[in-house]
Amino acid sequence: MKICMIGTGYVGLVSGVCFSDLGNDVVCVDKDLNKIENLKKGISPIYEPGLSELIKKNYKIGRLKFSTNLKDSVIKSDIIFICVGTPTKKKTNAADLSQVFDVSKKISRFIKSKFKIIITKSTVPVTTGDIIEKIISKGKSKKLFSVVSNPEFLREGEAIRDFIYPDRIVIGTDSSRSNKILKNLYSPLISKGAKYINTTRRASELIKYASNSFLATKITFINEIANLCEKININVEDISIGMGLDKRIGSRFLRAGPAYGGSCFPKDTKAIVNTAEKFKINLSLVKSVIKSNEKRSLLLLNKLIEILKGKIKNKNICFLGVTFKANTDDMRDSSALAMIPSLAKKGAKINYYDPTGEKNVFKKIKNVTFINNIKSAIHNSDLVIIHTEWNDFKSINFKSLIKKKNFIVYDMRNIYSPLKMKKAKIKYFGIGR
Ligand SMILES: NC(=O)c1ccc[n+]([C@@H]2O[C@H](COP(=O)([O-])OP(=O)(O)OC[C@H]3O[C@@H](n4cnc5c(N)ncnc54)[C@H](O)[C@@H]3O)[C@@H](O)[C@H]2O)c1
């Protein structure tokens, strides 16, 4: 099939590359010329395990193309995926749909005689598909196109595996013609065990927000239980295991840690609350999840200050990992964005190491330095903070690498055993234990 992905970011690039790997002709379009030129040279704009190899392979075969020409790409394609960003609108909780509507207007101009399916893979609030349909239908027959919702559930860092082996594929459309075409497009994944669900467009849009809000709630729940565990000397990891073994609950997303971040949960929880308010529904549970999560970085900062007995000035603090989680270079809404500037302001000297390299956002902050290896980054530390769970951080010999005698390790991902750390005479703190 001939497919066009509009927006070559985390979602558009990964899905486009995977669709081409499944044998389709795919063109990935972006307005960012630099990104497209680099992709043509085989340079991926994002860190995602396994992605570069698939880009090179499919580009070489000719099944995968990159372009800034939206007109040509839309005209030549049968299926058009909208994969642009839907961030939070400034000063509100609403999703900013300007990129989606802008692209819809452009697509509308190039639908002339051949039937096309326009799909929102971007996460969009319920009823957005209705608005896109109105935009595209101006001055043309509805027989020429169909607007479908097909939300994406991939996780950064596991994106290729998640795309190829999804738990479910959700297609929101009343059009049996579109449903048949899309079931065929996804048939290689369905034959590998993915569940295919055809529902209404509005239900499909809401499934995505409801899923992300639920996962954010699960994380926030265990984070709050961790706060309680710290007060009563219980290990939250035991609670996660004990709860997670109940099949009705499940163990995933039940690990305590820093505030959830990333490109989805913070904005999607806010957007669903905003959408519900438009329909005069109060999602009080999601609202308190948002509040609790927003307070969490401050809560961990206060714990950190307590650990350092209030003496932050001139302390050498090292962050291992600054992205919102491991195996991604995505800094969006990472809790490090709240913690690092605040500690630097209080006079701490901060080194950080991240396997995905230096981050622009910290370049201008005084006393915040990127060090390109773990060994040098932690060498002079008073306090090491394990902020993300990269494999690289899982077996560090702190005693031999840190020169300070009374250094402290604050393990925000509970990677290390408190008992082993005690035996090694390392001052160690985790989350909820
Ligand atoms: N990142 C994730 O893990 C993830 C997972 C599931 C769903 N989503 C959803 O997918 C959508 C995209 O997210 P993302 O993380 O891939 O965003 P992103 O910011 O990484 O990528 C969006 C891309 O769209 C491009 N773009 C914007 N306007 C354009 C236009 N007019 N023409 C061509 N290109 C244009 C931008 O240049 C950018 O490269 C969002 O709605 C997000 O909520 C993201």
The per-residue pLDDT of the chain, averaged, comes to 97
Return the pLDDT at 214: 98
Q: pLDDT band for 113, please (50, 70, 90 cuts).
A: confident
Q: pLDDT band for 129, please (50, 70, 90 cuts).
A: very high
**Catalytic pick among 18, 28, 264, 318:** 264
123 CB within 6 A, ligand 1:
yes
95 CB within 6 A, ligand 1:
no
Please check the confidence at residue 259 and state whether its pLDDT lies above 90: yes
Question: Is 318 known to be catalytic?
Answer: no
Please check the confidence at residue 284 and state whether its pLDDT lies above 90: yes
6 CB within 6 A, ligand 1:
yes
Q: pLDDT band for 141, please (50, 70, 90 cuts).
A: confident
| 264-283 per-position pLDDT tens digit | 999 999 999 999 999 999 99
74 CB within 6 A, ligand 1:
no
Specify the length of the chain in residues.
433
Question: Atom 43 of ligand 1 has which residue's CA nearest to it?
Answer: 123
Of 346, 297, 345, 303, the closest CA to residue 322 belongs to 297
Mean pLDDT in residue range 280-297: 98
CA of residue 179 to ligand 1 center, whole Å: 24
CB burial string 211-242: b at 16+ within 10 A, e below: bbbebbbbbbbbbbbbbebbeeeebbbebbee
Return the pLDDT at 208: 98
Mean pLDDT in residue range 349-377: 97
Q: pLDDT band for 1, please (50, 70, 90 cuts).
A: very high
| 334-354 per-position pLDDT tens digit | 999 999 999 999 999 999 999
CA of residue 429 to ligand 1 center, whole Å: 37
Return the pLDDT at 206: 98
CA of residue 123 to ligand 1 center, whole Å: 9
Please check the confidence at residue 429 and state whether its pLDDT lies above 90: yes
Return the pLDDT at 140: 85
Q: pLDDT band for 199, please (50, 70, 90 cuts).
A: very high
Mean pLDDT in residue range 322-341: 97
Please check the confidence at residue 233 and state whether its pLDDT lies above 90: yes
Instruction: State the DSSP string of 174-189.
Output: S-HHHHHHHHHHTHHH
Return the pLDDT at 261: 97
Distance CA 119, CA 205 (A): 11
Block residue for tokens 């505030």: 259
Share above pLDDT 90 across residues of the chain, in percent, rounded to a whole number: 98
156 CB within 6 A, ligand 1:
yes
Share above pLDDT 70 across residues of the chain, in percent, rounded to a whole number: 100
Q: pLDDT band for 142, please (50, 70, 90 cuts).
A: confident
Q: pLDDT band for 139, please (50, 70, 90 cuts).
A: confident
Please check the confidence at residue 181 and state whether its pLDDT lies above 90: yes
CA distances from 386 to 44, 323, 328, 336, 378 (A): 27, 12, 16, 11, 11
Domains delineated in the chain: 2-199 (3.40.50.720), 234-433 (3.40.50.720)
| 205-230 per-position pLDDT tens digit | 999 999 999 999 999 999 999 999 99
Return the pLDDT at 14: 98
101 CB within 6 A, ligand 1:
no
Please check the confidence at residue 109 and state whether its pLDDT lies above 90: yes
CA of residue 262 to ligand 1 center, whole Å: 13
Please check the confidence at residue 61 and state whether its pLDDT lies above 90: yes
Q: Which residue has the higher pLDDT, 198 or 139?
A: 198
Mean pLDDT in residue range 163-172: 97
Distance CA 367, CA 125 (A): 41
